[in-house]
């Protein structure tokens, strides 16, 4: 059987869709996509785009799979957890078995102001599979600066949200949400939980938005901030505002998150197996509210001066201004990840 016939059979049902057709499939085959974060959303989107025939996928993640990931992260299995295979590597291996025609580039790295532009500069679309707001605002800066469309997504508990951002055409993330929520203000999946089907729905919406852009159907993109709760089936579509000419990012061209040398400062504490995390701007944490959320994930105690939280091998000492000492690691990137996981940033 000829390779062209095999390709035609593989995508036949997709090419029957008038909005895609053979020309759209050709465009998909030539498309380049970067997925930042190969976790719950990232694995769902990567799986959909690989099966759809996207030509190139760059998979960026610094972590390894954990057993708790398997409930919602579809490209990993127990063997990946046992072998501590990095998520980017394990995902690429799985996707290569699904579709050998897709060029896969796994990148095991922590995304930061020093490397984000390099990671997205040569792609057509960027997918947000991250798990914290600090990284999303950094991604927004870099995408607007380089003119790269990106698709925001987030899921907590049974509820998810997504939005498509095209620099120069749509409002950017800071037009809609001028500042990220302060640390401790927003729940995380480690404190509020996350339902696998909610991830699947939002990941599918992100994937179809990418397919629209990559097949030349830009006019069909979503013009809303779309939220969906899979438990109640409540769908909310919020009309996006016009681009804000005073937006620091897309209006004034000030890339405040990208230009920060260290968006969140981390300092290794000598001889203490600990890293101090300092957030900017400083927060004003409500210890009772934070303790209520964290109590689902570990042991919590606090007084008016500080909070102690223990989860697994890590112990966090948290101060009212958002500063924290993360014990159990000497790796600044790991400390930021733990902080984002439980407190949020």
Q: Where are the domains of the chain?
A: 3-239, 264-342
The total of other beta-carbon atoms located within 10 Å of residue 232's CB is 9
Whether residue 337 is predicted with pLDDT greater than 50 in this model: the reply is yes
Percentage of the chain modeled with pLDDT above 70: 93
Please provide the DSSP assignment of 106-123 as one string: EE-----TTTHHHHHTT-
pLDDT of the residue at 188: 79
Give 12 or 318, the one with higher predicted confidence.
12
Residue 64: pLDDT band (50, 70, 90) is confident
Task: Give me the mean pLDDT over the 154-168 stretch.
Answer: 96
**218 pLDDT exceeds 60?**
yes
Q: How far apart are CA 345 and CA 343, in angstroms?
A: 7
Decide if pLDDT at 8 tops 90. no
The Cα 196–Cα 69 span in angstroms is: 10
Q: Residues 103-132: what's their mean pLDDT?
A: 93
- pLDDT at position 3 over 80: no
Mean pLDDT of 160-167: 98
Quick one: average pLDDT of 189-212? 94
| pLDDT level of residue 267 (50, 70, 90 thresholds) | low
Q: What pLDDT, on the 0 to 100 scale, is given for residue 261?
A: 55
For 264-342, CATH gives 3.30.310
pLDDT recorded at residue 272: 61
Range with the poorest average pLDDT among 79-88, 214-223, 269-278, 284-293: 269-278
Q: Give the per-residue pLDDT at 124.
A: 98
Residues 41, 38: Cα–Cα separation, whole Å: 7
User: Which range, of 139-143, 222-226, 254-258, 340-344, averages the lowest pLDDT?
Assistant: 340-344
229-252 confidence digits (pLDDT tens) = 999 999 999 999 999 999 999 999
Going along 196-258, which residue ranges are E strands? 224-229, 234-239
Q: Predicted confidence band at 269 (pLDDT cuts at 50, 70, 90)?
A: low
- In the beta sheet, which residues pair with residue 161? 154, 227
**pLDDT of 305:** 74
Least confident of 27-36, 89-98, 277-286, 320-329: 277-286
> CA–CA separation, 308 vs 158, rounded Å?
28
Residue among 158, 167, 155 nearest 130 (CA): 155
CA distance 27 to 30: 5
Q: Which CATH superfamily is domain 3-239 in?
A: NAD(P)-binding Rossmann-like Domain (3.40.50.720)
Q: Which helix (H) or strand (E) holds 319?
A: none
* pLDDT class of 1 with cuts at 50, 70, 90: very low
Question: What mean pLDDT, rounded, does the chain reach?
Answer: 90
Tell me whether domains 3-239 and 264-342 share a fold. no
Q: Does residue 149 carry a pLDDT above 90?
A: yes
């Amino acid at each position: 059987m000829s390779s062209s016939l095999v390709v035609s059979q593989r995508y036949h049902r997709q090419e029957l869709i008038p909005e895609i057709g053979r020309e759209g499939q050709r465009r998909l085959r030539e498309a380049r996509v970067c997925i930042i974060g190969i976790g719950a959303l990232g694995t769902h989107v990567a799986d959909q785009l690989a099966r759809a025939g996207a030509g190139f996928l760059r998979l960026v993640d610094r972590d390894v799979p954990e057993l708790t990931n398997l409930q919602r992260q579809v490209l990993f299995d127990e063997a990946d957890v046992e072998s501590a295979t990095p998520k980017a590597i394990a995902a690429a291996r799985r996707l290569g078995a699904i579709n050998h025609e897709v060029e896969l580039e796994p990148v095991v790295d922590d995304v930061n102001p020093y490397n984000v532009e390099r990671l997205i500069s040569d792609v057509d679309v960027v997918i947000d599979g991250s798990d914290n707001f600090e990284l999303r605002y950094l991604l927004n800066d870099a995408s607007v600066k380089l003119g790269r469309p990106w698709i925001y997504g987030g899921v907590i508990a049974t509820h998810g949200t997504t939005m498509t951002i095209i620099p120069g055409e749509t409002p950017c993330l800071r037009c809609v949400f001028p500042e990220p929520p302060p640390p401790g203000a927003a729940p995380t999946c480690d404190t509020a939980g996350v339902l696998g089907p909610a991830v699947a729905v939002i990941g599918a919406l992100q994937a179809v938005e990418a397919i629209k852009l990559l097949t030349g159907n830009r006019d069909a993109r979503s013009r809303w901030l779309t939220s969906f709760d899979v438990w109640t089936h409540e769908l909310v579509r919020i009309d996006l505002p016009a681009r804000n000419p005073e937006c620091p990012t897309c209006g004034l061209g000030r890339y405040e998150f990208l230009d920060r040398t260290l968006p969140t400062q981390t300092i290794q504490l000598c001889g203490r197996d600990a890293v101090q995390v300092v957030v900017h701007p400083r927060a004003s944490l409500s210890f009772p509210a934070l303790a209520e959320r964290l109590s689902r994930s570990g042991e919590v105690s606090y007084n008016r001066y500080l909070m102690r939280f223990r989860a697994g091998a890590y112990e966090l000492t948290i101060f009212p201004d958002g500063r924290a000492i993360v014990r159990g690691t000497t790796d600044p990137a790991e400390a930021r990840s733990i902080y984002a996981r439980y407190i949020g940033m």
